[in-house]
Structure 1
């Protein structure tokens, strides 16, 4: 059953005027909006999630939620988290940042009943980001098919990327991380580390992928030069692909993704290494795309949605970014050519936020990132 945060003793602090707090910014004439007059109500829909990573809405009003710890959970229309885990998942390598990650329904889910999900697979010394599809029937997964895995295998358990977005032609984009210790591979066109890849729903290669004329390039490549992109959407209003990625120490980015482009990592960045050392002397370089927006200090962006609902008409077309280190929901006013302003929401929760989605009801849904994760719903107050 839904539980409104407003009913709690500290709830008065959670019905708030938007625009609480600011982050230092470093480029592109970034500004933060003045305090909004809109008030937002936050309801707790579901509790008891173990490091939730992503959610998707089923046509019947229920929700599927992934847990990084390797489980797929089902939530009823009334917000009840079923005790039974959804069975049928393949073997998942759960360690560090690795585990079960994104989930999305096939565009023809009503007839195909297929879902797509990303996860880490393999062992500590040789693991990959994998992408699979399965049929979701009778609250179980069946006919699981792995359709893609990053190459080469890597050691360690960091920087997988793992977010998905369908394009209007029903091909699928998947973000992949650089593996942390393998950052130079983000510029290596022969592999799929630190890239955005594009595949058909059966894993085959679209015949118009941008690097097919380069025999040495991995045919799945759509863009390269990414560090750890954990947000990607196709914006139906502007008909553009937007992604964000973690920088190192500073230099988190929001990018407009176009086929064949190079986004610079690790040759170009505004961030420093974790030791404080310079990663590169370049913040710009010919042939490499500049970000639309950057954050320094890092906010650790982790989820991305474009608002297309009706409950908040003044926010239609805006981008929403959940932040882990920044512990906020960032609203970016996006025009299709540039990001104009930024506003931070949910700062009084003081919680790491993992994912954000726009529900079929027009509400904004947010997953918190913890061993006792929650699903929140934002509506106008």
Structure 2
């Protein structure tokens, strides 16, 4: 009888824990409309100066959306669709109006069919075609594993290009080894060259583009609108999704420290902290499976200004993190149950746009 009571207690405790994210309050003071319909996996999107959009479909299509019409862009390099990999993030150069450079991440085998790894490229767009395509970084070695390609791209206030590559499913091999790609945040100059003040530039055998390490799979990265610092989130295993503020040369601990466990329920580490390893600003257990990340700066949403948006693939909503003194003090759900939220951006018109799998790009309109 005692054993039975214990097991019931465990089941109840697990059920309560598993439902914890669903207990976040639901915000209803807005409506939404689908502005770009019928998209499969809109991994990333960006607004061009004329207000039109470029949207990446994971299966390997770059779409231009303008005046209600979708047009497929030609000229992409060869993309390897493998597990979580495919055509991923996209962003514009800070001076795009003058130089025309756009940047994107994708899974590439370098024309070798044996596996793939994450690549970063830039190109110019004219008449619905890419030209001057330049591969800026190609992670090696290729792997036939389908996990953890990353990959987000952003620029900082000094014009440096940052991108993320996941650990490629090699948990115990890549993230803690700065001589190997995977499980890292990288920094380049806008032309793909290595900044001479990168943290490991003088370390023998190190990958010189590495900016921080000890990451699992970062699928959210954005610049803080006031401090200019890079904020990221990354997938944990079962539990332990994290938000971090990225600093040069720092070790973010994966897999030596983690708040998560194996998907099977077994443990892989007993440590949640260790000397020389950064603690997350915030972590989620159970995992929300975060993807996409943006700060709200628009006057369209005065009560939300300064807070952080994170998509949830698992629970199918947009998570609003109320931020105070670099801490998440409250969480609320937007677009509750809409579908797997993959990407989020604040548009040039001040409205929030959200990429939802098998739905499209959705616009959030606050109630007046």
- Say yes or no: TM over 0.5: yes
Cα pair distance change 1:34/1:102, threshold 3 Å: closer
Matched, 1:375 2:344: no
C-alpha distance in 1 between matches for 2:46 and 2:335: 21
Paired residue secondary structure (1:347): coil
Corresponding position of 2:97: 110
- Higher mean alpha-carbon deviation, 147-156 vs 274-283, is at 147-156
Q: 1:40: how far off?
A: 0.8
Paired residue secondary structure (2:175): helix
Question: Per-residue displacement from partner, 1:320-347 (whole Å, max 9, x unpaired)?
Answer: 0001112110111123522221111111
Matched residue count: 348
C-alpha distance in 1 between matches for 2:350 and 2:122: 27
Q: 1:275: how far off?
A: 1.5
| Within-5 A mapping of 1:42-121 | 42-76=32-66, 78=67, 80-82=68-70, 84-121=71-108
2:255 to 257, 266, 279: 266
C-alpha distance in 2 between matches for 1:290 and 1:42: 36
C-alpha distance in 2 between matches for 1:274 and 1:81: 42
Corresponding position of 1:40: 30
Corresponding position of 2:7: none
C-alpha distance in 2 between matches for 1:256 and 1:23: 27
| Within-5 A mapping of 1:1-381 | 24=20, 39-76=29-66, 78=67, 80-82=68-70, 84-122=71-109, 125-349=114-338, 351-370=339-358, 373-381=359-367
Q: 1:155: how far off?
A: 2.2
The two structures, once aligned, show a CA RMSD in angstroms of 1.8
TM-score (normalised: structure 2): 0.90
Q: 1:23: how far off?
A: 5.5
Q: 1:182: how far off?
A: 4.4
C-alpha distance in 2 between matches for 1:120 and 1:33: 35
C-alpha distance in 2 between matches for 1:68 and 1:39: 32
Question: Per-residue displacement from partner, 1:197-232 (whole Å, max 9, x unpaired)?
Answer: 000111110111111232232110100000010000
Q: Determine if contact 2:156/2:229 at 8 Å carries over to the other structure.
A: no
C-alpha distance in 2 between matches for 1:270 and 1:306: 25
Cα pair distance change 1:172/1:336, threshold 3 Å: farther
C-alpha distance in 1 between matches for 2:259 and 2:238: 9
Paired residue secondary structure (1:189): coil
Q: Determine if contact 1:133/1:146 at 8 Å carries over to the other structure.
A: yes
C-alpha distance in 2 between matches for 1:94 and 1:161: 14
Q: Determine if contact 1:24/1:295 at 8 Å carries over to the other structure.
A: no
Q: Determine if contact 1:298/1:326 at 8 Å carries over to the other structure.
A: no
Question: Per-residue displacement from partner, 1:109-154 (whole Å, max 9, x unpaired)?
Answer: 1111110000000056331100000001222210100000112322
Paired residue secondary structure (2:174): helix
C-alpha distance in 1 between matches for 2:171 and 2:245: 24
Question: Per-residue displacement from partner, 1:283-316 (whole Å, max 9, x unpaired)?
Answer: 1111111111111111110110111211012212
TM-score (normalised: structure 1): 0.87
Cα pair distance change 1:155/1:34, threshold 3 Å: closer
* Structure 1 unmatched ranges of 5 or more: 1-21, 26-31
Q: 1:240: how far off?
A: 1.6
